[in-house]
Structure formats: structure tokens, C-alpha cells
């Protein structure tokens, strides 16, 4: 099992949790992932072997604060963009935009993943380096979030993406990692797996529907966004919507001064992609920063999927989301 903590560096309580987690993980169903490592089936979701320890530890130990902001996404669904936008919005009084940490740090460094960056390293990580309100990120399904998130007054912003573009973005991301022991699974085989619901954090339709229904039941708790709407729509109105939802709306003075437009421009895909920090450097897990900025467009799936493949996935999503009222723009 990768990233297993060194028991010599753990407190007795942490060591006991680690042992319990290893025992649980060893009992879970597993399949080979696209990168020839394992996916483990836990509570109805497939988790990569690299994060399963962190997932369990996050569930067991995280204590949410009422002021927390949780950014939730399915992998490769606008996560980097959402992190940048939210950080700039929430911390605009602390950091003038011309001196924003986003100019010199990756959004993933400023908004850490809970199950990757924090709880994968320790069952009891320190949060002292994260300014309040804490902005934290996860790929986990709504129903699997720690009880402290669901029961507190913290707010959750969820962003999803049309499953065809999400699949292509995720598959090409694996090809760009450059740390594989073998070539990632061919497109056709990876596609067959996702149609069976087998992918990291999948099935995708289960997670999307989970957050969709939760946002309808608790609109003041969970904000549901679609990547395509932000990409194709009026980004300024969405920046204002996020700020309003998080309890830090723009003042009339800020709007007059063009602060909303400045944040939109700062966090635009093209601007973020061309920042030196995002063209070089790596994340702790080894992924290069530039792999998080590929094309940022809607409809790139047409360059990869055959008509038969796209039709199959569209019909599958229609079936899975039937009656929910949830639809996607695919071009």
C-alpha cells in the first residue's frame, strides 16, 4: 500500500488508527486502475490506493469550523479554477489583487486537498498555516463527508462537469503525469471502465446526483455549479453568486471599482495558465503544475470519442439522472 505512514513517527492513537485503516482496506474489493495501481471500493465509491488512507482518516478525524469553506469537485471538473476563484473572492480584503498569492503559488498550494495534502500525511494534521476562513478541498461524495461538515454551518461549493469532457480530461491527465510504471490504460478500455462506474471517485453519476439533491434540500448549505456554465456564461455573475453564497458579497463600491471583473480576469484560465508558477514546479504527489492547465474548453471530447462512445455515455447519463432535472452542455 502506497503512502503508508511510518508507524515510528505516529502517536499511539494515530498508530492505532493507521492499523485499523490498513485492516479495513485489506478487506475492501479492489480492481486495477488506469495506471495499473488499485482502486478500492469503499462506501459505494472507488478510491485510488494513493488516497484511501487519507479518505478514511479525513472521515474519522476532521472537525469543521462554522466559517470553513469546502470546495468539492469530481476530479478534472474545474477544481483548479474553482480554488483560484474562491481564494481570490474570500481573501480579497487580506490580499490586494495585484499582490495576490495566486500570482506566485499554485491554487493547489493555497487550497489544500483534505484527503490528499492533509490527512494522507497524518491522521491529525495541523491547520495553523491556513488562514481563516479556511478554504479546503475534496473530491469525496457528499454523503461520505465527515459528519462535522454536514452538521456544522460551514458551506460547500460543488462544481461538476459534463462526463464526456471530464473523462477525456482525466484520461489525458494520467498520460501527462510521467511517473507511471507502465503506460496508462488505452482510451477504449478506460472508457469501458467508466461506463461500469469504475473510476477514481466514481461512479460519476452517483456523486453528481448526490450533491445535486443535497443542494436542492439545503440551498443555503451547498451551492451547485456546472463548469460549462462558468466557462460559457457570464463569469462575472458567477463570481458575485459565489461571494453572496459564502457570506462575503461585493459592496457597491467594489462593484463600481471593477473588483469583480479584476478577480474574473486574474482567475481566468488563460491568465492562470500563463503564470510562471503554473508553468513550472510540481505538487507534492509529483504532478507537474502545468498538467492542471490543459485546454479549459467545452467539447474537447469530440476529438477523442467515437460517435458510438459518446452516444453510449450520453444515454447512460440520461438513464442515471432521469427525473432529477439535471442536464449538461456538451458543446
Q: Which residues of 131-168 are buried (b: 16+ CB within 10 A; e: fewer)?
A: eebbbbbbbbbbebbbeebbebebbbbbbbbbbbbbbb
Residue 200 in contact with residue 75, Cβ under 8 Å? yes
36: its cell numbers: 495499473
Specify the DSSP element, H or E, that contains 39.
strand 38-42
Query: Three-class SS of residue 91?
Result: coil
The CA distance from 19 to 106, in Å, is 34
DSSP class of 142: G
Tell me the catalytic residues.
139
Nearest to 202 by CA among 329, 119, 317, 84: 317
Nearest to 82 by CA among 187, 204, 211, 235: 235
Residue 86 in contact with residue 71, Cβ under 8 Å? yes
The CA distance from 86 to 162, in Å, is 21
DSSP labels for 286-309? S-BGGGG-S---S-GGGGTS-HHH
Query: Three-class SS of residue 45?
Result: strand
Q: Provide the angle, in degrees to the nearest 10, between the axes of the packed helices 163-176 and 187-195.
A: 130
DSSP labels for 106-137? -HHHHS-BIIIIITTT-SS---TTSPSSPEEE
Amino acid at each position: 500500500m502506497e503512502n503508508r505512514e511510518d508507524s515510528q513517527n505516529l502517536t499511539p492513537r494515530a498508530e492505532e488508527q493507521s492499523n485499523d485503516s490498513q485492516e479495513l482496506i485489506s478487506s475492501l474489493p479492489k480492481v486495477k486502475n488506469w495506471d495499473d495501481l488499485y482502486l478500492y471500493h469503499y462506501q459505494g465509491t472507488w478510491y485510488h490506493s494513493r488516497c484511501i488512507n487519507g479518505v478514511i482518516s479525513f472521515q474519522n478525524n476532521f472537525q469543521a469550523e462554522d466559517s470553513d469553506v469546502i470546495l468539492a469537485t469530481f476530479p478534472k471538473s474545474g477544481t483548479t479554477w474553482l480554488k483560484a476563484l474562491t481564494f481570490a473572492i474570500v481573501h480579497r480584503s487580506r490580499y490586494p489583487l495585484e499582490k495576490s498569492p495566486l500570482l506566485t503559488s499554485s491554487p493547489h498550494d493555497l487550497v489544500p486537498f483534505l484527503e490528499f495534502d492533509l490527512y494522507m500525511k497524518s491522521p491529525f494534521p495541523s491547520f495553523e498555516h491556513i488562514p481563516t476562513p479556511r478554504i479546503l478541498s475534496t473530491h469525496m461524495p457528499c454523503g461520505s463527508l465527515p459528519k462535522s461538515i454536514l452538521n456544522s454551518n460551514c458551506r460547500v461549493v460543488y462544481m461538476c462537469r459534463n462526463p464526456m469532457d471530464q473523462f477525456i480530461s482525466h484520461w489525458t491527465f494520467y498520460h501527462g503525469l510521467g511517473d507511471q510504471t507502465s503506460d496508462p490504460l488505452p482510451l477504449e478500455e478506460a472508457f469501458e471502465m467508466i461506463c461500469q462506474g469504475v473510476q477514481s471517485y466514481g461512479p460519476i453519476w452517483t456523486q453528481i446526483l448526490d450533491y445535486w439533491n443535497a443542494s436542492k434540500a439545503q440551498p443555503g448549505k451547498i451551492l451547485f455549479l456546472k463548469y460549462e456554465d462558468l466557462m460559457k456564461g457570464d463569469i462575472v455573475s458567477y463570481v458575485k453568486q459565489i461571494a453572496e453564497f459564502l457570506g462575503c458579497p461585493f459592496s457597491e463600491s467594489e462593484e463600481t471599482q471593477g473588483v469583480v471583473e479584476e478577480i474574473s480576469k486574474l482567475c481566468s484560465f488563460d491568465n492562470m495558465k500563463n503564470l510562471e508558477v503554473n508553468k513550472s514546479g510540481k505538487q507534492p504527489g509529483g504532478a507537474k503544475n502545468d498538467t492542471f492547465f490543459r485546454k479549459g474548453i467545452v467539447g474537447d471530447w469530440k476529438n477523442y470519442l467515437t460517435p458510438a462512445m459518446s452516444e453510449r455515455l450520453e444515454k447512460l447519463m440520461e438513464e442515471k439522472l432521469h427525473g432529477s432535472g439535471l442536464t449538461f452542455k456538451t458543446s
